Structure 1
């Protein structure tokens, strides 16, 4: 797998990451969502440099302009609900992409330290021969990303796969590295070193879904 960790170089991205982590700023839900969206835009811009382009002639009021435009059939797939702001950031740049959404969540049994990933809802176009961008803001254990991809397999074989996350744990990065093909790309804003015993990223930022949309009732 090709791993692109954007935190390895200093950029304005550091400001957005620091704000979504900061307990004094992240309580502003609108700002939290917008920062996740902006991080998605930065990741999307960097990813675009690796895609296929084709030449095109544009007619202006005063003449002709030669340029190159993306030559990819893109499908953006996000994991609900935390993935929505990140999805919006990607869609701001890949505005002609098709879209897929999947509901995947952790189901804890008697032991809070063990869980399984449950997929309950999936809406997806054909993936055959297309560029799949699979987005999940928090890459903790990596199990949700893998379970989501398994659920997408009946929709066809993508030409290429790009994984997009905001914050990951090294364990999660290693997990997806072992479960996706060598030509898969992972685009991630930053990677933390550890997971808690419950499988949450440390220091991370907390629950991205709750911070973006409010706390949920457990069932």
Structure 2
């Protein structure tokens, strides 16, 4: 299942336009905040599909029957670019457990790359809802490798993926590899370059959020 959050006009459309805009991108704090906002909207939409239970809550004047989440999800993010989006999810799922994955493109001299996964820190995942955040879904390789690694650590009941911008090629690759994963996108672009960059996309989300890195 793929949900495009900007299919209907909402503030998500405005935030997507701002993270794409080369002039506004110069303000790193605004770039991070817009990713955070997209994460917050995605968190709200995902929360509508999660299971709830009834709970009695004591108020100053009596007892109220309330609905609360049956279980808190696990929020996982791919370092470093995923951190602002992750923060948006965490703002809403503020009692959630968290997982952090270092997955990145290791480039070769011929211009090709492979996905390197160097570090994972995660809680118990067995039969839990896992929400993975990464701002860009380009080829889908790092996401699929991350999901496969997390499945080796446990068997989540559901996996949701939250991205700011996705490419149709990457979506299709994820769906072939992980057909039960639900993908939540701020926007979807059609073109992917030979080097695996989304067009028009927005550039390198990690660099725009945190500064240019040295290629290793």
Query: How many aligned positions are there?
Result: 216
Matching residue of 1:63? 62
Alignment TM-score, normalising by the size of structure 1 = 0.96
- C-alpha offsets along residues 155-176 of structure 1, whole Å, 9 cap, x if unaligned? 1101111111110011011111
Distance in 2, Cα, partners of 1:141 & 1:6: 20
- Please tell me whether the aligned partners of residues 58 and 65 of structure 1 are also in contact (alpha carbons under 8 angstroms): yes
Distance in 1, Cα, partners of 2:214 & 2:143: 23
- C-alpha offsets along residues 55-109 of structure 1, whole Å, 9 cap, x if unaligned? 1122222222222111124111100000000110000011111100010110111
Alignment TM-score, normalising by the size of structure 2 = 0.97
Matching residue of 1:101? 100
- C-alpha offsets along residues 106-143 of structure 1, whole Å, 9 cap, x if unaligned? 0111221x211000111111110111111111000111
Matching residue of 2:119? 121
Distance in 1, Cα, partners of 2:89 & 2:136: 15
Matching residue of 2:7? 8
The reply on whether 1:143 has 2:141 as its aligned counterpart is: yes
Structure 1 residues not aligned, in runs of 5+: none
The reply on whether 1:200 has 2:169 as its aligned counterpart is: no
- Please tell me whether the aligned partners of residues 72 and 93 of structure 2 are also in contact (alpha carbons under 8 angstroms): no
Distance in 2, Cα, partners of 1:89 & 1:16: 13
- Please tell me whether the aligned partners of residues 129 and 157 of structure 1 are also in contact (alpha carbons under 8 angstroms): yes
Structure 2 residues not aligned, in runs of 5+: none
- C-alpha offsets along residues 2-28 of structure 1, whole Å, 9 cap, x if unaligned? 111112111111111111011110110
Distance in 2, Cα, partners of 1:192 & 1:152: 27
- Please tell me whether the aligned partners of residues 125 and 155 of structure 1 are also in contact (alpha carbons under 8 angstroms): no
Matching residue of 1:166? 164
